[in-house]
Chains A and B, each alone.
Chain A
């Protein structure tokens, strides 16, 4: 075995070690959705709450309820998410429709039809009531579009300076109507990897809306409810042929696929030229030194499906308005296990690592 190979094996062992939080305090990196978030969740929360439903750390938990003599069984998907986006309003959406769509999408990734949501509000003293009305109206519209109802909630107000205008937590329940076995650990060599549309628009839109850069570009968030397009895919490929569904939120497509590669102990091999990115998103990412693969989407998901049915999966996605620009972006290979590789447009191959901390812009 070559020296380099030995080093790489040592690194792989280090990567798989039990995560330890080394920091004494929470830093912003713990909220980025990348490696630090994973470490925190595993070392603090999973350690404290460990149970078989939580353990897979999927987008939501699947609850199998009922049974008994009558044989009435209900499979529920159950999930929760908090929304702290700044600014509250951005091109293509606001914190309200984000809070509905995000939780609806987590349910959709479990293969469920979303039904009911709760909404908890933490409001900062001084928030204009008119802003809150706008947010509530857009939540109502998003809920109607997604055919879910907001059936319970809570409101708290904190002192000025203790919150950034408005934070929202939504919890969702959905019914799993199809016999699905979706899991991040289900990807197998030979499977195909698809994405439901151009990536990175949400993250780019919000970054520009923050006004930190004097860049103007017509980028609108991709926030949208995905259960409809998911249902079409599941109907087209029944019988476990859809292995994994993940919405590519924080940490982007790269981070989600790293989680799939690790959980399934396979390699994911992406074709850079096949990954759909709108030119204006590419442009903004170039300027800021970011990689669209790590930029958050709020209305896009990654699907791993049986490779023999990749085309049918693509057709099913493209049949829905939210999947018109879906693409097959890669394949699953046996080796190197737990890694994501990218065949670059210029003809090379490189590793796509999980996001570390915030995607920091390069300076020169």
Chain B
């Protein structure tokens, strides 16, 4: 794992931490949002906040695909899974996501045939192996996973697999960032831009953030050194009075993105007029549905959907957490009624959700650790 170790090196991390501290202007605080749940996961998994001075805080954004699925869509999917002859397939992260009427895991225990897959192609394979069953793939994710869904539908069409369909819940990152920027109760100094999404869409779509909203953005990789480097670059822009889109993750992200992937999405999917996001409400042109030409593979047309709309539980403050207005631990039910074992909100389910990451990895204040654990006496409370 040498290619990874290089980006987890403690000496490099310490050097960057010193550089970050040096770039902070005395008396000023900085709040940067990491948009992507993968970054949130890295930050907590490696304890990266220990390398940041108290002046710099990281705000966790909405880029966790599981976290933004509204409860009604989970209920619709559970409804499909309950139809005769259906095999529902889903990524593992989704199994514990609560809908209004329970989760996939509960529906599975009650008799529905719900199978975990690692790729939509696995779902297509199940469809080919079970021609007398109707196999549905529960598609979720940002532009990162949409291309593989699109490619799978193209293959299903080419090979003629009539018993395969997709329940499409793909969402797009730019409208979500715009919703955050337009939210009145948030003060941000810049963005750590998503890495994998950008590998598909490129860096150009972020230009409006620097131009119209005057916030710098650095597209970042997923290793600890990547994230610290990006924070260092953001502080550099602010110190020099610049406001640009920069690419720290050039080893993976081409500036123009991946035209082949974008073309596949364009062929198979179309923009929805609006789509509900968990906690964020309806956002215009923020999600993808199956295109007319591929209606035969669209679970929303193949099945009669109840189209359930379920209000988020009143106690759940996922919306505020997703917008970065609340820290996970500031939610009233965090860690007591809502835990990874019995999540109320989606942010507690996926390992990329801010609440799950904080609960699993970050759930202690630095000043509680004495002796071998705590040379540092930093409390972030």
A contact set with B: CB distance below 8 Å:
2-5, 7-8, 10-11, 14, 22-29, 35-36, 39, 189, 212-213, 267, 269, 279, 282-283, 286, 289, 291, 331, 333-336, 339, 341-353, 356-358, 360-364
B50 to chain A, nearest CB (A): 4
A100 to B1, CA, bound (A): 34
Asked if A364 and B329 make an inter-chain contact with CB atoms under 8 angstroms apart, the answer reads no
Q: Which residue of A lies closest to B332 (CB)?
A: A7
Flag if A364 contacts B109 (CB, 8 Å): no
B144 within 8 A of A: yes
A353 surroundings in chain B (CB, below 8 A): 340, 359-361, 363
Most buried by B among A346, A348, A356: A346
Please give, as numbers and ranges, the residues of chain A lying within 8 Å of B208 by CB-CB distance: none
Q: Does the CB pair B109–A23 fall under 8 Å?
A: yes
Q: How far is the CA of A212 from the CA of B380 in the complex (A)?
A: 42
* Interchain CB contact under 8 A, B1 and A283: yes
* A212 contacts across to B, CB distance below 8 A: 118, 122
Tell yes or no: B366 within 8 A of A by CB.
yes
> Within the complex, what minimum Cβ distance (angstroms) separates A264 from chain B?
15
Known A4-B380, A11-B336, A347-B14; contact A364-B141, beta-carbon cutoff 8 A: yes
User: Is there contact, CB below 8 Å, between A364 and B9?
Assistant: no
Structural contact, B8 and A345, CB atoms closer than 8 A = yes
Complex Cα distance A331/B371, Å? Answer: 10
User: How many whole Å from B43's CB to the nearest CB in chain A?
Assistant: 9
Q: Nearest Cβ in chain B — how far from A26, in angstroms?
A: 6
Q: Is the CB of A362 within 8 A of B372?
A: no
Query: Which one of B9, B41, B196, B364 lies within 8 Å of A346 (CB-CB)?
Result: B9
Q: Mask for B125-166, Cβ within 8 A of A = 1, else 0?
A: 000000000000000111011000000000000000000000
**A210, chain B: closest CB distance, angstroms:** 11
Contact present for B329 and A334 (CB under 8 Å): no
User: Are A344 and B65 in touch, CB under 8 angstroms?
Assistant: no
Q: B47 within 8 Å of A by Cβ?
A: yes
CB <8 Å contact, A346 and B361:
no
Closest to A359 in B: B92
Question: Can you list 30 residue pairs at the A/B interface with Cβ under 8 Å?
Answer: A2-B379, A3-B330, A4-B379, A4-B381, A8-B364, A14-B339, A27-B106, A27-B108, A28-B105, A29-B96, A35-B340, A267-B373, A269-B369, A283-B1, A333-B369, A335-B369, A344-B224, A345-B10, A346-B225, A350-B46, A351-B363, A356-B341, A357-B96, A360-B96, A360-B116, A360-B351, A363-B66, A363-B140, A364-B38, A364-B141
Q: Annotate B347-379 by CB proximity to A: 1 below 8 A, 0 otherwise.
A: 000111000000111111110111111101001
- With a cutoff of 8 Å between Cβ atoms, the chain B residues found around residue A362 in the complex are 38, 41, 93, 350-352
Instruction: Tell me whether B172 is interfacial, beta carbon within 8 Å.
Output: no
Task: Identify which of A5, A8, A334, A363 contacts B145 (C-beta below 8 A).
Answer: A363
Interface centre among B141, B225, B363 (most CB of A within 10 A): B363
Give CA–CA (A360, B46) in the complex, Å: 19
B79 part of interface (Cβ distance < 8 Å): no
- B50 touches which of A286, A347, A352 (Cβ 8 Å): A347
Contact B365 A347 (CB under 8 A): no
Does B4 belong to the interface (CB within 8 Å)?
yes
Which chain B residues lie closer than 8 Å to A11 at the CB level? 334-336, 359, 363
List, in ascending order, chain B residues with CB within 8 A of A5's CB.
365, 368, 381
In the bound complex, how far is the Cα of B339 from the Cα of A39, in angstroms?
Answer: 14
Contacts of B48 in A (CB 8 A): 346, 348
**A189 CA / B363 CA spacing, docked (Å):** 21
Interface string of B283-300 (1 = CB under 8 A from A): 000000000000000000
Bound form: Cα–Cα A352–B142 in Å: 29
Given contacts A269-B369, A361-B118, A362-B352, could you give 8 more A-B pairs where the C-beta distance is less than 8 Å? A8-B365, A11-B359, A212-B122, A335-B369, A346-B10, A346-B46, A349-B366, A361-B93
Asked if B373 and A360 make an inter-chain contact with CB atoms under 8 angstroms apart, the answer reads: no
Closest-CB distance, B55 to chain A (whole angstroms): 18
Q: How far is the CB of B340 from chain A (nearest CB, A)?
A: 4
Kindly list chain B residues whose C-beta atoms are within 8 Å of the C-beta of A283. 1
Chain A, residue nearest B356 (CB):
A356
**Interface band, chain B:** 35 or more
Any A CB within 8 A of the CB of B23: no
A-B Cβ contacts below 8 A, count: 189
B152 to chain A, nearest CB (A): 14
A196 to chain B, nearest CB (A): 22
Contacts of A286 in B (CB 8 A): 1, 4
Q: Do residues B109 and A349 form an inter-chain contact, with CB atoms below 8 A?
A: no
Q: How far is the CB of A151 from chain B (nearest CB, A)?
A: 38
- The distance from the CB of A97 to the nearest CB of chain B, in whole angstroms, is 28
Is A4 touching B4 in the complex (CB atoms < 8 A)? no
Q: Which A residues lie within 8 Å of B218 (CB)? A: none
Judged by a CB distance under 8 angstroms, whether B235 is at the interface is no
Q: Is there an interface contact between B196 and A364, defined as CB atoms closer than 8 Å?
A: yes
Given the known inter-chain contacts A23-B106, A333-B372, A356-B341, please indicate yes or no for A363 contacting B65, CB distance below 8 A: yes
A335 near B368 (CB under 8 angstroms)?
yes
* Nearest 9 CB-CB pairings of A with B: A348-B47, A4-B381, A11-B335, A2-B381, A360-B92, A25-B109, A348-B50, A350-B361, A350-B47
Residue of A nearest to B350 (CB): A362
In the complex, A358 Cα to B362 Cα: how many Å? 21
Query: How distant is A245 from chain B, measured CB to nearest CB, in Å?
Result: 22
Question: Given contacts A279-B1, A286-B4, A344-B47, is CB(A7)–CB(B364) below 8 Å?
Answer: no
Taking CB atoms, residues of chain B closer than 8 Å to A39 are 341
Chain A positions within 8 Å of B37 at CB level: 364
Please, which residues of chain B bring their CB within 8 A of the CB of A344?
45-47, 224
Residues A4 and B13 in contact, CB atoms below 8 Å apart: no
Closest A-chain residue to B116, C-beta based? A360
Which B residues are in CB contact (< 8 Å) with A336?
A: 364, 368-369
In the complex, whether B95 has a CB less than 8 A from a CB of chain A is yes
Q: What residues of B have a CB within 8 angstroms of the CB of A3 in the complex?
A: 330, 381
Question: Contacts of B110 on A, CB cut-off 8 Å?
Answer: 25
A269 and B365 contact, CB distance less than 8 A: no
Q: Which residue of A lies closest to B103 (CB)?
A: A27
Give, as a whole number of angstroms, the nearest-CB distance from B220 to chain A: 14
Q: Is the CB of B381 within 8 A of A349?
A: no
Q: Return the CB mask of B108-127 against A: 1 if under 8 Å, else 0.
A: 11100000101000100000
CA distance A339 to B368 in the complex (A): 11
Q: Give the residues in chain B near A335, CB-CB below 8 Å.
A: 368-371
Give the complex CA separation of A11 and B330 in angstroms: 12
Which A residues are in CB contact (< 8 Å) with B191? none
B149 to chain A, nearest CB (A): 12
In angstroms, Cα B379 to Cα A110, docked, is 41
Instruction: Please state if A10 and B336 are interface contacts (CB–CB under 8 Å).
Output: yes
Nearest CB on A from B360, distance (A): 4
Query: Which of A23, A291, A334, A356 touches B371 (beta carbons < 8 Å)?
Result: A334
CB of A333 within 8 A of CB of B370, answer yes
